Each structure stands twice: as C-alpha cells, then as structure tokens.
A and B are shown apart, each in its own frame.
Chain A
C-alpha cells in the first residue's frame, strides 16, 4: 500500500488535462472495482448457500457485502472529492454512472436492514442470500452505464482499444489496484475470523451454562 501511494503521489507523471487532481484516479478506481468485486463475491457465496445449503456461506456472504459497503462509501467519498476538484460539483444527478453506483450502494445498505430485521436462523440466511443475488444484477448495469450513456462528463479510461494512459500511469494503477485488493482480502479474512470466533464463543458459553 505504501509503494502504491508513493507511485501515485510522486512517481506517476502529472496528467496534462486534469493536472494534480487526476492522482485521485489511482485510489478511486481501484476502490470502486474492489467494491464491485466484494458485492459480486457476496452474491456468489449467497448462491453457494442456496445451492449447497452449507451454513458457513451465510457468514461469508455477509462479510463480503459488508466489505463491499465499506469500499462503496470510500468510492462515493473519493469520487465526490475528485468531482469537486475536476468539475466544480460534489455530485451530479445527471450522471448515470454516479446515480447507478449510489443505487447499488443503497440496495446493499438495505441488505443489512433486511438481515437484522429477521431472527437468526436458516430463514434469515435464505432471505439474505436471495436479496444478495438480486443485487448482483445491478453490478454490470452500474459498470457498463458509463459506456452506454451519452453526453457524459465522467471520463472513460478503459476502452476497447485498451487503457487510455501512459505505461507508467497504467503500472501505477495496477500496483494501486493490487494493494487495495490485498487490503480488502486481509480485512475480509480478519472480519470473518472474528465473526466465527464470536459465534463459537457464544455456542461454548451456552453449552457451559
């Protein structure tokens, strides 16, 4: 992560069009991609729960969606700061990419409301899994909106002709993406271990009473 920050803030060349504010790209885009990945992972684990019926997938799906929500908040925060620096606005409701990401984010926020409104057990696990699977439809829509929409301000960097940036910028982006993905994986594992330990301790406490 340290290497990624050094590359993004010092080594990478300054963008001729956007200037210094383009350096937010190296943190904003990897975080957004990680958020999509976490939501996708949560949906995949939900599918496995419904398919195989193994209880452990419920917790794995929940933790992945929790991670996705955290990275979603970071995407919205860094994106708003970048928008203010580049466009002069914190938010633009006319931008489909922004609005669809917000819809995706709010959809998964509602996942927690659903989950915590039901009693713990197989019914809650199944309902949460079905809800998580519905949300996965929004991921490609949100991701492709920028390419489908017309007359947009949000820049498109990755086109069919490849990344529209220099080699050193692309290398910096790849290092940043790897660092954010690694961070997300570590946080996912730590939270999952903590949740499992919590559940085991609760069970042990009940058994000893």
Chain B
C-alpha cells in the first residue's frame, strides 16, 4: 500500500465509524417514535371508550352535589 492509501484508509475508517454510529442512533430514534405512537394510540383508545386510566383521580363535574346525577 502507498502512503496515500493509508491516509485514505484512516479517514475512511473514521467516516464509516461515524456513519454506523449515526445509523444506530437513527434506528433507536425510529424505535422510540414507534413506541410513542403506540402509547398515543393506547391513551386515545382509553378516552374513546370512556375508560379513564386507573391512576387518574375521580373527576366531579361542576354543579353536582355528589349525591347522584342532578335533574
């Protein structure tokens, strides 16, 4: 190998490493995006069926006495 080829190999190795690293990070971010979308669907599904999340405090609508539905 000539000295010029060694220089190209050194810079090429750095380029490939950074490229692979960026590709791995991009794949991880895509996975996080997919998981976020799943959670959004989960939350939306809960609100459509009227099922409140288990950890949410009970909500009292304004104007009610708490003794049953007002007329």
Contacts and interface: CB of A to CB of B under 8 A. Distances in A.
Q: Is B a genuine binding partner of A? A: yes
Interface of A: 5, 9, 19-21, 23-24, 27-28, 31, 70, 73-74, 77-78, 81-82, 84-85, 183, 187, 190-191, 194, 197-198, 201, 204-205, 207-208
Given A20-B7, A82-B10, A85-B3, 8 more contacts: A20-B4, A24-B6, A31-B14, A77-B14, A187-B25, A191-B25, A194-B29, A208-B53
Q: Name the prevailing secondary structure of the B interface residues.
A: helix
Interface string B1-30: 101101101110110011001000100110
A78 B7 contact: no
Q: Name the prevailing secondary structure of the A interface residues.
A: helix
15 contacts: A5-B11, A21-B6, A28-B10, A74-B14, A78-B14, A81-B6, A81-B9, A84-B6, A85-B1, A85-B7, A198-B28, A201-B32, A205-B35, A205-B39, A207-B55
Interface residues of B, number: 24
Interface of B: 1, 3-4, 6-7, 9-11, 13-14, 17-18, 21, 25, 28-29, 32, 35-36, 39, 42-43, 53, 55
B25 A24 contact: no
A23 B28 CA distance: 34
A28 B14 CA distance: 9
Most chain B CB neighbours (cut-off 10 Å) among A19, A28, A85, A205 = A85
A68 B60 CA distance: 54
B6 A70 contact: no
Most chain B CB neighbours (cut-off 10 Å) among A9, A24, A84 = A24
Contacts of B4: 20
Contacts of A5: 11
A73 B1 CA distance: 23
Most chain B CB neighbours (cut-off 10 Å) among A78, A81, A198 = A81
B32 A197 contact: yes
B21 A70 contact: yes
Nearest to B4: A20
Contacts of B55: 207
A201 B42 contact: no
Given A27-B11, A27-B14, A194-B32, A85 B6 contact: yes
